[in-house]
Amino acid sequence: MRFTTVFAGLLGVFLTPALAYYNININDNNNSGGSGQQSVSVNNEHNVANVDNNNGWDSWHMLWNYNTGFAATRLFHKKACIVHKMNKDAMPSLQALDALVKEKKLQGNDGPWGQPPKSLVYSINPGQVNDLDKFGDSIVGMCKGIPTYMAEEIQGASLIFYSEKCFDANILWILNISFCGETVQA
């Protein structure tokens, strides 16, 4: 019995740095109630970050796979996944994301601070992706069995001049991503 308790305690000490989970309340004006909740989990062992945005009809889940360099966003109301290359100049490293979320959690939820979030705009290709394997097991697990589309970043894009309907995924106070194309239209 004593060995089991010591083993469980040591296991907790070693797993804590590998798996981090944070729950942060956000304000979202697109939700009729005006609020939602995002949770961020960072898995250092697998080099993956997950962001869950629970906001009623506009809920989504985003996965960043730092090993493959791809990210995927599952839009629940559209029953679709969007996969894109990670822009490493705009997206924080896994360690930086972990540190930013810890810092924000300690500061409370008073809103953004420091520099404004970076913005990325992606154009969704209309053809479905047939083979998800090149994106890594974590993205396969999230998108398998639902229509999945590839998106490409539009460099220097301004949403004011973009004619297609866009879906915005704002990741806390860090990054604003817009996915534009047919799959996001009602």
Of 60-64, 109-113, 116-120, highest mean pLDDT? 60-64
- Concatenated DSSP letters for 63-107? EEETTTTEEEEEETTTTEEEEEE--TTTSPPHHHHHHHHHHHHHH
pLDDT in tens, 100-110: 777 665 444 44
pLDDT at position 23 over 70: no
Q: How far is CA 7 from the centre of its chain?
A: 34
pLDDT at position 83 over 80: yes
Q: Where are the alpha helices (DSSP H) in 121-169?
A: 137-143
Of 7-16, 86-95, 176-185, highest mean pLDDT? 86-95
**pTM listed for this prediction:** 0.75
Region 2-9 average pLDDT: 40
How far is Cα 186 from Cα 164, in angstroms, rounded to an integer? 12
| Residues 6+ away with beta carbon under 8 Å from 10 | none
Region 108-125 average pLDDT: 70
Residue ranges with strand state E in 28-69: 35-43, 48-54, 60-65
Residue 134, helix vs strand vs coil: helix
The DSSP letter of residue 165 is: -
pLDDT value at residue 141: 95
Of 20-29, 40-49, 129-138, 153-162, highest mean pLDDT? 129-138
Of 14-18, 115-119, 150-154, highest mean pLDDT? 150-154
pLDDT value at residue 162: 57
Tokens describing residue 162: 């973009």
Contact 63, 50 (CB under 8 A): yes
Domain boundaries, the chain: 20-184
How far is Cα 26 from Cα 117, in angstroms, rounded to an integer? 14
